[in-house]
Every structure is written in structure tokens, then in C-alpha cells.
Structure 1
Amino acid sequence: MAHKTFISYKYSESRELRDRIIQAMGSDAAYYTGETSESPDMSDLKTATIRKKLADMIYSTSVTIVIISPHMKESNWIDWEIEYSLTQTTRNDRTSRINGVVGVVMKVNGGYDWFIHPRINCHGTQVVTYDNSLLYPIVSNNHFNSEPEQWHCSQCKTFDWLNGSYIEYVKEEDFLLNPSMYVENAYTKSQNGGAGYRLQRTRKN
């Protein structure tokens, strides 16, 4: 089932990946409401005007795709867009639900070692950790936050990959192969207000 989506990203380093995500959506791209390569430049607009335009784009969506890139924290808008996505907003007596959110990790110089670091768990199997210092707290605090915890392995405290986090991180190549699967997973977790997760809905910068 297609869902209306919005992509939150740092324009200067992620716009090409944004375009590839939209292309990979195929016919579901008709439900995408965010910026495209054809969108007018908003950089010269006042902050309040930009915020209103972004809110209008996000309000009717049900899933926000966040591109996790090396300098995303330099963006003036990503953390605000996520906060808005996780907030119920009332307009004309209609209250929106919170969005599902999925993080797409950008490949840099052919790999992901700028953000993803392997380790070995108690079974001798390779698992990964992430460099949360590169993320806004509203992203990192909504990762590994299922309640109760959904473990892949409770012995070595390895969270279930897709369902142990409200905001899951997916490598760009995996997401591009099957975007509908990850969008649907994010949407499912958003139902009932994200019940089952310790959601952080406000920025803590």
C-alpha cells in the first residue's frame, strides 16, 4: 500500500540521493509531497515562510524518510522537520497522526564506515554500532527505543533490526532495492501513536 511521504535531507550533500529515492519509488512517487529537483529555491525566504511551506508539505504525509549524511547536523531544518513529523497537528478540526520515520544511510566514498562500525557479538557474529555524534538527538534517541525492548538476542543485547527502533537505519543500497518495504514498516510502527516505543518528540540540542 502506498503512503504519502516526505524526504528530510541536507540539500548540499544529499540531493542526488533524494532524486534516486524518488526514482526508486516508481509509481509510489506520485504520493511524494516534498521537494524535487524542480522545486523553487527557498533559501532566500524568511524563516517563518520556509517553516510554513515545509509544514504544508509534511502535514498530509504519513512517512518521513530522513537521509543520514555526514554533515546533516549542519542543516537548519532536518531536526525541525522530524519534530513536526512526530507531532500531532490540528488544522480545520482535523488532527494528523504522527509519521513513521525511516533513516536512509548515505554511502560515502563507496562505503558506510563514516557512520556504521562493526563489532562481534557473544555468538561470534558481526553486528554493528552507529556514530550517534553525527546525528541530531531526536534521531538517535528514537533508535533502539522499543518498549519493552525487542531483542534479536537478549543475551548480548542486540536489538531486533527492523522493529527494535522507531527510526531504523537502512543502508541506501538496501532501501533503493525495496523502498516500499521500509516505508510500510515505518508506517506500521506509527500506528496508535507509536505505541511500543519510548518516543522523543522534541529536539534536545
Structure 2
Amino acid sequence: MAHNTFISYKYSEAKDLRNRIVEALGDDGRYYKGETSTSPDLSDRTTEYIREKLKELIYHTSVTIVIISPKMKESNWIDWEIEYSLKEIKRGDRKSSTNGVLGVVMKYNNDYAWLRSTVSKNDGHSLTSTDTTYLYDIISNNRANQNTPKYVCEKCQSIDALEGSYISLIEEDKFFENPNKYINNAFEKSKNIDNYDLKRTK
């Protein structure tokens, strides 16, 4: 099933990945909402003007993809775009639902070590940790926030990578193997929002 999708990203380092994501959506790419090469230039506009344009784009979407890149936190907009995506906004007699939100981790220097490290434990399991200094608080606070966690391993209490967090972080290689799987997963979580301790503000 196709979903109206907004992509939040730092233009200077992630525009190529953004373009690949739009292309990977194929026919569903027609539902993409967000900045394109033909979008009006917002660089010389006031903050409020830009904010209103972004609100209009996000309001009509149901899934937000956030590209997780090394300098993402230098953006003036990404955390605000996530916050707006998580809100329920009323306009007239219509109210938008909270978007599903998915993080796609950008490969940098040919791997993901800039953000994630994996260690093998004595019991044979591996543990992946994420360097949250690269993430906005609104992303970190919506990770591992399932009200009743589903563990993939009860012994080491490793949470499910997709279901355990409202905002899952998926490496770009995995994402491109099956984009609809991850977009649909984010959308389904937005329809079961009571399963998560959701933090809506940055």
C-alpha cells in the first residue's frame, strides 16, 4: 500500500540519498511530498514563511522518513519537521493523524561505524549500540519506547529492531532491499500509537 511520504534531510550531505529513496519508491514516488529540484527557493524567505510551507507539505502525509546523516544536527529544520510530523493537527473540521516516522541511516565512508558499533557477547549474541550524540533528542526519546517490549532474545533482552521503537533506524542498504516493508511498518505503528510512550516535542 502506498503512503504519502515526507522526507526530512540535510540537503548539503544527503540530497543524493534522498533522490535514491524517491527513485526506489517507483510508482509510489508520486506520493512523495517534500523538497524537489523544482521546489521554490526558500533560502531567502523568512522563518515563518518556510515553516508554513513545510507545514503544508507534512500535513498531507502519513509517513515521514528522516535521513540520519553525520551532520544532520546542523540543520535548522529537521527536529522541527519531526515534531510537526508527530503532532495531530486540526484544520477546520479535519484533523491529521500522527505520522509514522522512520530513520534511514546514511552510509558514510563506506559503512555505518560513524553511528553504530556491534560487539559480540560471551553468550553468542551480538549487541549493536547507537551513538546518540548524532541524534536529536526527539529521535532518541522515541527509541526503545514500546510500552510492552517484545524481545528477540529474552535472556539478553534485545528489543525487536522494528517493533521495539516508534522511530526505527534502518541502514540504507537494508532499506533499499525492501523500502515498502519499512514504510508500511512505520505507518502501521502510527495506527497503533497506544503501544508506544510517544514523545511529541523536541
TM-score (norm 2): 0.97
Aligned residue identity for 2:30: A
Counterpart contact for 1:73–1:134, Cα < 8 Å: yes
Number of the residue aligned with 1:78: 78
Number of the residue aligned with 2:178: 178
1:191 lines up with 2:191 in the alignment: yes
| Cα displacement (A) at 1:50 | 0.3
In the alignment, structure 1 segments of 5+ residues that lack a partner are none
TM-score (norm 1): 0.95
Q: Give me the CA root mean square deviation.
A: 1.0
Counterpart contact for 1:24–1:177, Cα < 8 Å: no
Distance 1:65 1:27 in 2: 17
| Cα displacement (A) at 1:177 | 2.1
Runs of 4+ in 1 over 2 A off after TM superposition: 120-123
| Cα displacement (A) at 1:126 | 2.1
| Cα displacement (A) at 1:8 | 0.4
Deviations 1:128-164 (A, max 9, x none): 1100011000001111111111211232121111100
C-alpha distance 144-121 of structure 1, shift in aligned 2 (>3 A): farther
Counterpart contact for 1:150–1:159, Cα < 8 Å: yes
Distance 1:199 1:20 in 2: 30
Secondary structure of the 2:191 match is helix
Distance 2:153 2:4 in 1: 34
Structure 1 stretch displaced more, 143-152 or 98-107: 143-152
Number of the residue aligned with 1:63: 63
Secondary structure of the 2:195 match is coil
Distance 1:93 1:119 in 2: 52
Counterpart contact for 1:121–1:156, Cα < 8 Å: no
List aligned pairs for 1:4-153, cutoff 5 A: 4-121=4-121, 123-153=123-153
Distance 2:153 2:131 in 1: 21
In the alignment, structure 2 segments of 5+ residues that lack a partner are none
Distance 1:102 1:48 in 2: 26
| Cα displacement (A) at 1:122 | 5.6
Alignment size in residue pairs: 202
Distance 1:122 1:187 in 2: 37
